[in-house]
Structure 1
């Protein structure tokens, strides 16, 4: 994937399909041959050990990273962290990466200009530049290409976009066909989130099984999210 001149790059890692797709394309040198992904970066709640958006347990991310063959760093966020606390944690992580010689922080965003602008603003005074390897790709094309190549489970859905029974489903052609009009096939507007457990970036699958489905108010009651808990399963 990389040459000796490649820029050491950390990938902001959700464990979901967009990040996995971005890593796949970087490994195929379809984005920039002068990039070497050296680590994955995930934010987790210091209180629960889960990611806030996906609700996935830390141990599954550890298994996922091991199966991919990359180290993973966890940035721990305080319980109910506000934006200032989030930015402080991320600034410290970014500064540490710069000291370690990392040159780029890659993001799997596809088209949301406000999200990209925010990330660029946060990196403006840092010694690390942002990198968007799959920016501007058609989300329907990405979703179908991903579904053909990877195995992923939907772990969270926004109640404003999807019914609770979408949580826990396999992300596949049937799932895409069942999405209501107006829902982005990649969930780019936060309609749903996934956890990826097999595909071309993996040396071996990460066996998982679905557990309890729960509904929670998040963002201080700003939205309702249906979560499907994922548990590590024995290899079959």
Structure 2
């Protein structure tokens, strides 16, 4: 079997992709890998507390490795940390890496080019699938998710901290992908067929945060879909508190 690790974001696309990989008998998937902000103990971009991330992994029953970055990371430091992490995975004989990407061509090309440098092959279970079909499948399978971050340029405060259901999907503006594949929103999955038990949490405060991406840092965005931040973007975050 192919020794495989999964790039876990804590969100719905990751959850559905992991579900599909668990049905795949060709891969021995025994590791989740997540990038986190070590200054705030949160998942990169999603803003999810690490405590909830760890509870996800415990419920899924798969070992979790975190790749920690400082809050203010330069492109050079980002690349250095990623290279060290990738080399460590190669040393552990991993040959395949799974991503939940759906249709971002440039991102996939960048991932594959970096993986090729260390002789790892990318696996994309959701690639080129219709997003409306995917979100329906996600809900029909019994997954439950809540938005933890939304792009304030496209969605208002009322969209963050909302459970993903048919009403949420119907309320989305026409220019927003129903899976948030263009970075319109990010989610936390707290129940579903990949979990042994649901993750208990409560809603915290909602805050608006703005980010400026400098030109020299642009390449960082190609490494993780969850970290794609356009110039001067603002995001609404809903803090989730572990129970």
Instruction: Tell me the TM-score normalised to structure 1 length.
Output: 0.92
Quote the offset at 1:164 in angstroms.
1.1
Write out per-residue CA displacement over residues 7-30 of structure 1, whole angstroms, 9 at most, x where no aligned residue: 11110010000000000011122x
Matched with 1:22 is: 17
- TM-superposed CA distance for 1:218, in Å, is 2.0
Report the equivalent of 2:132. 140
Partner of 1:224: 234
5+ residue gaps, structure 1: 1-5
Q: Does 1:9 align with 2:4?
A: yes
Shift of 1:230: 0.5
| CA distance in 1 between partners of 2:102 and 2:46 (Å) | 18
> 1:94 maps to what in 2?
86
Deviation at 1:85, TM superposition (A): 2.2
- What CA distance in whole angstroms lies between the structure 2 residues aligned with 1:219 and 1:153? 26
What's the CA shift for 1:128? 1.8
Q: How far has the Cα of 1:86 moved from its partner?
A: 2.0
Measure, in 2, the Cα distance between the counterparts of 1:190 and 1:128.
26
Superposed, which structure 2 residues align to 1:139-218 within 5 Å?
139-148=131-140, 149-218=142-211
SS in 1 for 2:198: coil
Indicate the SS of the match to 1:230: strand
CA distance in 2, matches of 1:88, 1:41: 17
Shift of residue 53 of structure 1?
1.1
Report what 1:3 is aligned to: none
Could you report, residue by residue, the CA deviation over 1:114-134 in whole angstroms, capped at 9, with x for unpaired residues? 110111121221132221122
Where 2:117 maps in the other structure, the secondary structure is coil
CA deviation vs aligned residue, 1:74-107 (integer Å, no higher than 9, x gap): 1001222133322221111111011011111111
Worse overlay, 60-69 or 81-90: 81-90
Match of 2:42 in 1: 50
Give the structure 2 partner of residue 39 of structure 1. Answer: 31
Secondary structure of 1:26's partner? helix
Where in structure 2 are the equivalents of 1:122-137 lying within 5 Å?
122-137=114-129
**Deviation readout 1:131-162 (Å, 9 max, x if unpaired):** 11221111111011112320111000001111
**Aligned mate of 1:113, from 105, 112, 116:** 105
Deviation at 1:46, TM superposition (A): 1.4
Q: Distance in 2 between matches of 1:219 and 1:54?
A: 17
Measured in 1, the distance between the counterparts of 2:132 and 2:79 equals 32
Number of residue equivalences: 225
Q: Does the 8 Å CA contact 1:95/1:127 hold for their aligned counterparts?
A: no
1: CA distance, partners of 2:118 / 2:130: 30
Aligned-partner SS, 1:152:
strand
Distance 2:212 2:179 in 1: 22
